[in-house]
Chains A and B, each alone.
Chain A
């Protein structure tokens, strides 16, 4: 695989058993993602965005076809190997933030590094740096319940970014946020995309997010309907 290619998908199909039959969620998907992309998977509900994101994130396996993520074929991975791949290369951002409520902001972000066996000093430095990226250094000791929705999503971004992954997968990251916070969050991710050259792939149907995307892949009924590169005004400003 070309060094600049981070994800390569060929003739991917995903089927789920439904009763005695099968439901085809994805079929004949072939896509390539370059390092540093800021791409969105868009399309109506049920078009297969999340399923594709799950397969790229090694949370699910293809029924057919080949998917390579960071040079590793997803198909033959054991759950241990898949976990390793996620641990070192992939960060996730969720619609509902999914922070661990009993832990502080610092501990939520630190958890990603604990899995990589960093020392306490290394963890502290990295977490504070990640908090600085998202502008929440003063909230390091707060609990998620003490934060606003926008702040929670910023913590989730810091958690995804703290281990400096090559790839961040964000499933509807702005769905629970108001317009102002949505813009802030996406701008923040765009900035990190540029500064750290991290690849971002979104599953979204939020118009506000789409304004910032470099590439929009439209899915419809489990297949790629359109794949287009965009250079938006916001992109130009940020670039």
Chain B
């Protein structure tokens, strides 16, 4: 019987080809959209983690309260010791110290007078340790437009936008003006080793990246750093592990009332990232539901039309002695079969398109020009393991639901009525 019905599906194109095309298209769209949204959201999340939040961050409690203002006067002291302890306590995480700072940079002309000047936001990173992954996290190598990465103390990178605007070339000297940890004025002469473009408007407007030793010296932050960041070795944020680590760390220091005591915060707890992560998670579910409802309605209608067309066949089958339950069951089996084939095809094509979008991406820098969001300039899809099966859920359910709903007509109509339609 299964073989017989299978033959029918294969031979009757309106029972197979049309629903398969509808399901495939729907599933394909679903997979592409899922990968696309995950790609953009995931990339944003990674960008935020790498540049700003880390997967975990340790700060002083006072610093944490106003972290957006980069209050380096509230920085962690004896940071190297603290870093060592953290590395020992959490060996599965990569711990790094960073200083974020604001300031002014001044480029002199040949007479020593100001030629160009502008406000900057700076990152002090560990650029020179052989085990440091900071260059990779900031994607410095690929973001370099002119010159080279800092190779020795005293060298720094500036944003290409800034460099272009003021015609700054690698090798030129500039002075960084800032505030020391104690509130005094800070000056430090640095050399431009190169210019960088991250592709994110908020970063490219005026960024300076220098080795942390230089910035510590400039801002009188000897053995101090604003933040200690941690990254999972997998480079994927794991909220469960991060929360457990933060809870254990903070629990130990709970009894200390000192506002300079360190506090550990997860990525989720920083800069409204909780909403963002929830949104990324929720978007997948919302997409599935929306798609499933829409597809079910389409396939229900297709099923109704097909069902009406197939009343002839149902009438014959009933007359031959097949009972209504069996006919209904075979409709559901057909739906599972069609849904599976459609989902496989849709997923395959969807993944191919997603792979293309993951590899090539789409340049959205034009529309991100004035954005202050930390967003990538090239939007890319991301094929996650979920993408391999997510299309099957709506693909199968919508066809089965569509056929199940339209198949109810077999029960609603009297057998004789089906027969009359058969004779019509």
Contacts and interface: CB of A to CB of B under 8 A. Distances in A.
Contacts of A98: 312, 315-316, 319, 422
Interface in B367-424: 414-416, 419, 422-423
Interface string B1-26: 10010011001100000000000000
Contacts of B320: 86-87, 92, 111-112, 115, 159
Interface stretch (A27-35, A76-84, A180-188): A76-84
A82 B319 CA distance: 10
A102 B11 contact: yes
B222 interface: no
B316 A100 contact: yes
Given A84-B321, A98-B422, A115-B322, A54 B4 contact: no
Contacts of A57: 319
Interface string A82-122: 11111110101011101010110001001110110000000
Contacts of B422: 94, 96, 98
Chain B interface main SS type:
helix
B240 interface: no
Contact of B319 (A59, A79, A102, A103): A59
A125 B72 CA distance: 93
A60 interface: yes
By size class, the interface of chain A is 20 to 34
B8 A100 contact: yes
Given A59-B415, A114-B1, A92 B12 contact: no
A95 B7 CA distance: 26
A16 to B, nearest CB: 10
Given A59-B319, A79-B324, A112-B320, A94 B414 contact: no
Nearest to B15: A102
B85 interface: no
Q: Which of B313, B319, B414, B415 has the most CB of A within 10 A?
A: B319
A232 B321 CA distance: 34
A110 B315 CA distance: 17
A103 B8 contact: yes
Nearest to A96: B423
A60 B416 contact: yes
A37 interface: no
Nearest to A171: B423
Given A103-B8, A107-B4, A114-B4, A88 B321 contact: yes
B321 A54 contact: no
Given A102-B12, A103-B7, A103-B11, A87 B416 contact: no
B416 A107 contact: no
A171 B420 CA distance: 11
A159 B316 CA distance: 11
A42 B396 CA distance: 51
15 contacts: A59-B415, A59-B419, A79-B324, A80-B325, A86-B318, A86-B321, A87-B321, A87-B322, A92-B319, A100-B313, A102-B7, A107-B7, A111-B320, A115-B321, A171-B423
Given A98-B422, A112-B320, 14 more contacts: A57-B319, A80-B323, A80-B325, A82-B415, A83-B321, A83-B326, A85-B321, A87-B322, A96-B423, A103-B7, A103-B8, A111-B317, A114-B1, A114-B4
